[in-house]
Amino acid sequence: MNFRMQSKRIWGGVLGAVIFIALGVSLLLPIPYFAMGPGSAIDVSPLVHVGTSQPDEKGTFLLTTISLKEGNVFDYLYSKITGQTELVPEREILAQGESEEEYARRQAENMIASQNNAIIAAYRQAGRPVKVEVSGIEIFQLLKNRNTGLKEGDLIKKVDGRAFSSTEQLIQYLGTKTPGEVVTVNLIRGKKQMEKKVELVELPAAPGEKKRAGLGIIPVVRVKVNISPPAEIHTQNIGGPSAGLMFSLEVLNRLLPEDLTKGYRIAGTGTISQTGEVGQIGGIQYKVIAADREDAEIFFCPRDREPGDENEKTARETAEKIGTPMKIVPVSSLQEAVRYLQHLPARSAFKSKTLTGAA
């Protein structure tokens, strides 16, 4: 009798352990989603180098990031219970047929382009001479199953006799075409100049967008920038173009005689063009949360200007939801952000959040 009861306990324990392990494994099973949530707010100053000058800033510019990782069942349950993360379908993050490694490489390339734009925009805003020479548009990545005869690394000089100074211009031009049309592409492969007839393909559309014609590539513009003093931005393990505005503000602050920070902790996000235009980004609600966690007092976000733009709206709603005292400041350009900062009063030490109680 005792043996039988002991045997039941043993088998019951084994069964319980098996069920526990099975549940644990199932929670870690991958799903076709990415888990997106708050990242961090990082001081930009150590990342930026302009000439040999050292920053003399009383405040801080902070770039903001999101956390993005391959989702699993646990992430799904966590997002439903807490609402602090969001599950985003893979198709909204990855290009068609793109691996996570290729995505990371593309985001790193986007960061380099963003840094170039940030430096150019800052020098122009400061009235410094800038010479930008467009080498061409490089085929950074071929979309899968696109047999166009093009190769990664090809440098496109012209399409149908037209030269383009940005990827946006190329995409806009190809958008006027229809799949199946043939365009003439002049390119450089290695050191060899070539001309190819390329049949345009139908590109997959993002949610809410129409399908369009294209070359079946992920393009990046290659530029040579001549400025004085020299400027560099070094980042580690941060990808994407959304830190452009904050990089540009930090570079500009090194070029101007006054301190734009005025003693404040200033966070923000937004892409930047070479002419200083600020563009929309993804996951802004999580960047607002990240900035608030680092006690930022001001948060720059892209202004909503076009139908479908929601950065400004989402940033304000998130700030209200989490009850942050941080001020949300929408801007459409670097110049607008600078104008706002120049009209700020210098921050009084007595406003510091670290000074509490009586002495």
Catalytic residues: 242, 287
Quickly count: other Cβ atoms within 10 Å of residue 232's Cβ: 12
Sign of CA dihedral 191, 197, 199, 205: positive
Tell me the HSE value of 64 on the side-chain side, using a 13 A CA sphere: 30
- In DSSP notation, 221-245 reads EEEEEE-SS-EEE--SS--SSTTHH
- Of the candidates 175, 221, 205, the one whose C-alpha atom is nearest the C-alpha of residue 96 is 205
Looking at the DSSP bridge assignments, the partners of residue 38 are: 66
Tokens encoding 198:
């390329």
Residue 175: half-sphere exposure toward Cβ, Cα within 13 Å: 11
What is the C-alpha separation between 306 and 265, in angstroms, rounded? 29
Question: Residue 55: which of 44, 65, 64, 66 has the closest Cα?
Answer: 44
Q: Specify the 3-state DSSP secondary structure of 87.
A: strand
* Cα 77 → chain centroid: 26
Task: Determine phi and psi for 220, rounding to 5 degrees.
Answer: -135, 140
Instruction: Tell me the two tokens of residue 344.
Output: 């700020």
Query: Which residue matches tokens 């039988």?
Result: 4
CA distance 259 to 208: 43
CA neighbor of 203 nearest in space, from 214, 188, 218: 214
